[in-house]
Structure 1
Amino acid sequence: MPITAQRRAYLTAEYVAVFFGLALVYFFLARGTSPIPVLLVLGGASVAYLLRSPAFDRRSLWRGEEVGLRPILTLWAVAAVAATAVVAALFPDRLFELPKEQPLLWLAVMVFYPLLSVYPQELVFRAFLFERYGPAFGTWTVAASAAAFGFVHIVFGSWVSVVLSAAGGWLFATRYRRTRSLLAASVEHALYGVLVFTVGLGQYFFHGAQT
């Protein structure tokens, strides 16, 4: 249903305040602390909002039948080869650094990262953002999701984190728009996160990274 210009302006301002303003507050006041507790709270708040929204299709929180692994894995395989080649060429000492030097930590990341980080992020940046701000952005909602997702990674202190996350955010938002499956977006997000931490780019996604 079309919305008024006033409502669109309000939602746009709210979007900026929530996804950019709060990210800056975190950056200046809480940088260096684990974002996981904040993610869990925001993920829970998103679920509460979504379940109270009469227009939201609750099946979108999972919709496992829409997880098409072939296109997801095909694109991921290309990205994995490219990422490995880039790290091998530019940062050879970092290639597979985490699994080689800290295998138990790497294993813990492989297990807990999708559960404690990926799904809450997808709740906030895909399901909630699309439901709340989709009426304001329309066909630009994917771009709004990617921009917000990229910018929030400023908390890691690296422009590389922001750029890579924005690219990933576009991919995950596009997947969610096509499938309306948070599980599909989360599986894709988890695969790229696992790749980043495995191949040697994890320094851009923990606090203290500087570049």
Structure 2
Amino acid sequence: MNSVTYKLTEFFLIFIILPVSFALDYPFYIKAFLAISGFAYVIYILLKVEDKKFRIAPNLQWRFFWKHVGIKLLIIAFLTIGYMLLTAKSDLFHVLYRKPKLWVVILFAYAMFSVYPQELIYRTLYFQRYGSLFKSRWLFIFVNAIVFSLGHIFYRNPLVMLMTFLGGILFALTYQKTESTLLVSIEHAIYGCWLFTVGMGQMLGFPG
């Protein structure tokens, strides 16, 4: 399971074939089965093959993390508020104002059941298992952003693809610096929750 051929095949199936298949029209229950089976396989590989321990690291770089996330969030907020004012002013913060209870529920559910599994797959597994396949670290990060964007192809939205590509670069750099699934999951959750809050949640599949 650790041969180059096996890893390349595994990479192709997990990060290309499966995500692209979700953009095709076939029964949802089959997609759900494939997604759950794929995630179970990822957990197996991390625990049994890569011997990854799921524990909070004792030396988390909180000061570095909050400083950099805060700066990036300000830039994202400026750009996204500007985008909403230009394209859908009436939707700006509409869920927060009109459905605050739904807003709270969705933020919690998104962080727990969407963000963390994504980071286990696209950062923890990717960095733990496939680093040896790349000679260039920058190419490694670029491909990570590409496959992360591809993982959202089922939305069939070019803007979503662009945003997730840029987000993939940010998350990959954070994981490279901290090697913490917890920290990169928090960062991912902050940006995703902001997009929902500012009024861009519909394109990302958020209800409301």
In structure 1, distance between residues paired with 2:32 and 2:186: 18
Map 1:173-192; keep pairs closer than 5 Å. Answer: 173-192=172-191
Question: What one-letter code is carried by the residue in structure 2 that aligns with 1:186?
Answer: S
Aligned mates of 1:186, 1:170 — CA distance in 2 = 14
Moved more, 14-23 or 196-205: 14-23
Matched, 1:116 2:127: no
Alignment of 1:130-169 (within 5 A): 130-138=127-135, 139=137, 140-169=139-168
- Shift in alpha-carbon separation, 1:87–1:32, aligned structure 2, 3 A: farther
1:31-50 Cα distance to aligned partner (Å, 9 max, x none): 878x8887665444323211
TM-score scaled to structure 2, two decimals?
0.83
Superposed displacement of residue 72, structure 1: 1.2
CA gap of 1:36–1:180, structure 2 versus 1, over 3 A, is farther
**What is the TM-score of this pair, normalised by structure 1?**
0.82
What is residue 24 of structure 2 aligned with on the other side?
Answer: 28
Match of 2:103 among 96, 101, 106: 106
Alignment-derived partner of residue 16 in structure 1: 12
- How many pairs are equivalent? 200
1:13 shift after superposition = 4.6
2:56 pairs with one of 59, 62, 69: 62
Listed as ranges, the gaps of 5+ residues in structure 1 are: none
CA contact (8 A) 2:19 2:154 kept: yes
Q: Which stretch of the first structure deviates more once superposed, 11-20 or 38-47?
A: 38-47
Displacement of 1:14 after TM fit? 3.6
Q: Deviations over 1:70-98 (max 9, x none)?
A: 21122112211221122112221221122
Q: Cα RMSD between the aligned structures?
A: 2.8
Gaps of 5+ in 2: none
Q: Is the 8 A contact 1:110 1:194 kept in 2?
A: yes
1:28 match: secondary structure: coil
Report whether the alignment pairs 1:48 with 2:53.
no
Aligned partner of residue 27 in structure 1, secondary structure: coil
Does the C-alpha gap of structure 1 residues 31 and 171 become closer, same or farther in structure 2, counting only changes over 3 Å?
farther
Letter in 2 for 1:187: I
Question: What's the offset of the Cα at 1:53?
Answer: 3.3
Q: Which residue of 2 aligns with 1:87?
A: 84
Q: Given the alignment of the two structures, is residue 196 of structure 1 paired with residue 191 of structure 2, yes or no?
A: no
Change (3 A) 1:14 1:45: closer
**TM-superposed deviation, 1:177:** 0.8
